[in-house]
Structure 1
Amino acid sequence: MNNQDRIEVGKLAELADGESKGFCVRRQPILVCNSGGKIYAVANECSHAFQTLETGRIRAGWIACPAHGTRFDLATGEPLNPPAVEKIETFPVEIEDGRILVDVSGIA
């Protein structure tokens, strides 16, 4: 991960298990989630209803869309149940000195 492509989005200690925090990077809404102590970054928009996922329930490596209940795998972005059939974008995450860094190199 190139240092120019990494942005700090917060401190690990500030994101408890089951919590998420939304950001906008280069006009792309991103959601950083803590599931079981593992940190993920995904597009903050359901691929089915185009609703934000920010208030979605986080459990066991997935987040549920609050609009229609589709669960998305936080690691791959794949939908785990209908109605969504398209995956959501995921972004690499690193933890460095307690800081959460998201690789945004794929965002124009």
Structure 2
Amino acid sequence: MKYYAVASTSELDETGQLHIELNGEEILLCRDGNDYFAISYYCSHESFTLEGGSITNRCITCPYHGAEFSLETGEALAPPAWQDLRTYPTAIEKNIISIGFAD
């Protein structure tokens, strides 16, 4: 697994979310408190974006239909989505967020 520097922590200060693209994958970086997560950008229910969804207790809620996903595991926790999402490991060093991506 290779880690790629993708953003500074300050880029998530205002909304707690940042859309990025890495190796052809669209990813949503999320902050919950002092923790940072990377999850697939699109909801598995109808492929709407998760960006703008509320984040609480290490979960994100789709802003369109209310599906809920674990930011840690990608597990679908509430309908209408039942398919889990891909998550990516994150690392923070000197306020730079890196995402682990299998080559």
TM-score between the two structures when normalised by the length of structure 2: 0.91
Write the distance in 1 (CA, Å) between the matches of 2:52 and 2:25: 17
Equivalent pairs counted in the alignment come to 103
State yes or no: 1:21 paired with 2:21: no
- After superposition, where does 1:22-101 map in structure 2 within 5 Å? 22-101=19-98
Structure 2 unaligned residues grouped into runs of 5+: none
| Greater than 4 Å deviation, 4+ residue runs | none
Write the distance in 2 (CA, Å) between the matches of 1:59 and 1:79: 15
Write the distance in 2 (CA, Å) between the matches of 1:17 and 1:104: 26
Write the distance in 1 (CA, Å) between the matches of 2:80 and 2:14: 26
Higher strand share: 2
**Letter in structure 1 aligned against 2:48:** Q
TM-score between the two structures when normalised by the length of structure 1: 0.87
Report deviation, 1:16: 2.5
Conserved 8 A contact 2:11-2:18:
no
Structure 1 unaligned residues grouped into runs of 5+: none
Conserved 8 A contact 1:17-1:35:
no
